[in-house]
Amino acid sequence: MVTVSLLDVASYLPGPPIGTEFFTRFSRSDRMARNVMFRAPTHRHHVADGESAVDMAERAVAPLIERHGRAAVTGVDVLLTHTQLPDLPVCGCGAELARRLGMTPRWILDVHNGGCAAFVHMIELARTLLTGTGAGTALIVAVQNSAGQIFTQPDVRSLVQAAVPGDGCGAALLGVSERAPILGIESRHHPEYAGDMTAEIDPPRKYWAPGTGQLHIAFTDAKITAVFARGNRLVPEVALAVCNRIGVKSTEVDTFVTNQPNRLFLRNWREALELAPERHPDTFDECGNLFGAALPVTLDVENRAGRIPNGSLVLLAGFAHAGDYAAAAAIRWGAAP
C-alpha cells in the first residue's frame, strides 16, 4: 500500500487584529447575545479591501515555497482548494492560484463542500488521488474570507453573530512518503441536516438579484439548539472512530486540533476525549471562527511555536455547517520546524 504523508503546513492571517469594539459600538439589543454560540472572541482578522481569495492563498503557500523550494510546489500533481466566499460566483480559486504559482497540476479541484471540516475532506481526497493514480504530491488550500466581506456590511455588522468570524487561510503539502503518515481518516456525511443552514435577505430576494438588504446567515432558537447538540456529538464521534481504527485511546493523542466555532464547543470536545487543555490548541480568541481555515491555521500556529515535536500523534477533527458533514484524521507528525 502507498503511504501518504502530510509533509508541511503553513498559514496566513490578513491585516492587524481587530478588537471586539469594532462591532460592539454598532450592536443593538439582541436576546441571542446571551447564547454561548455568539460569545465573541477578543480579536479576529479581516480580509483587506481588494484582497482576493487567490491573494490569500498565494500568501499562505509562500512559506511552503521558502522551506521546500519553488519546484516542490510548482511540480505538484494535485491542487485542491476550498474557498468560503468565491470571488467569482461560478468557480473557486484553484486555476488562478495555479497560474500565479506557475503550476500545471494533473488535477485542479475546487472543493465547495466540507465547510469547517474541509481541510480533512481535502486530505482524504488528496490521499485517494495519490494512492490510486500514481501521483506523487498534492497541495491543499482552505480560504476563509467572508468575515471582512459579509459580516462587516452595515446591516449585518450590528448582529450579534457578526463579531464571531475571522478571516485566514491555511495550506498543506502532502506526498507519497513515510515521513509523516496519515494513519486513518473517518469521514461522515449527514444529508438529513443539509437544509438546516440558511441565509436571509430582508426584503427577501435571491442573493444574486438586484435589490436592497444584505445577506446574512439566519439563526433561530431551534436551529441553534439543534446545531449545538449535533456539534457536541459529531466531532467526538469521528475523532474516537479514528482512534479506534488505529488502535489508540483518545488519551494517547498528543495534539487535538479542531475547528474553532466557540469556547464551549472547544471545552466539550476536549472533555469528551479526556484531554488536558494544553493538548487541544485554542486560537479562537486570537482569530475568531475561521471556518474551513481553522484547522490548518491552528495546526500551523502550534507547529511554528514548537509544540508539536516529530513523532507526535496529531488528531484533526471538525464538523461543517449545521452538521451535514464531520471528519477526523490522525497523523504521525513529521513537520516540526
Q: Are 307 and 255 in contact (CB under 8 A)?
A: yes
Tell me, yes or no, whether 236 and 213 share the same domain. yes
What's the CA gap between 48 and 276, in Å, rounded?
Answer: 36
For β-strands 313-320 and 255-258, DSSP reports them as parallel
Tell me, yes or no, whether 167 and 27 share the same domain. yes
Mean pLDDT of the chain: 95
Listed residues 124, 154, 178: the one ending a domain:
178
The answer to whether residue 337 sits within a structural domain is no
Listed residues 178, 193, 227: the one ending a domain:
178
pLDDT at 35 over 80: no
Tell me, yes or no, whether 69 and 204 share the same domain. no
The answer to whether residue 240 sits within a structural domain is yes
Listed residues 178, 211, 246: the one ending a domain:
178
Residue 47 DSSP one-character state: P
Residue 328: pLDDT band with limits 50, 70, 90: very high
Whole-number percent of the chain with pLDDT over 90: 88
Residue 90: pLDDT band with limits 50, 70, 90: confident
Boundaries of domain holding 9: 4-178
Tell me, yes or no, whether 144 and 198 share the same domain. no
| Mean pLDDT calculated for residue range 22-42 | 72
What are the pLDDT digits (tens) for 286-305? 999 999 999 999 999 999 99
What's the CA gap between 116 and 232, in Å, rounded?
Answer: 14
What are the pLDDT digits (tens) for 125-142? 999 999 989 999 999 999
What pLDDT score was predicted for residue 24? 83
The SS3 call for residue 175 is strand
pLDDT at 34 over 60: no
| Mean pLDDT calculated for residue range 314-329 | 97
Element spanning 41, H or E = none
Q: Are 41 and 166 in contact (CB under 8 A)?
A: yes
Tell me, yes or no, whether 24 and 153 share the same domain. yes
The answer to whether residue 213 sits within a structural domain is yes
The tally of domains found in the chain comes to 2
The answer to whether residue 322 sits within a structural domain is yes
| Mean pLDDT calculated for residue range 138-155 | 96
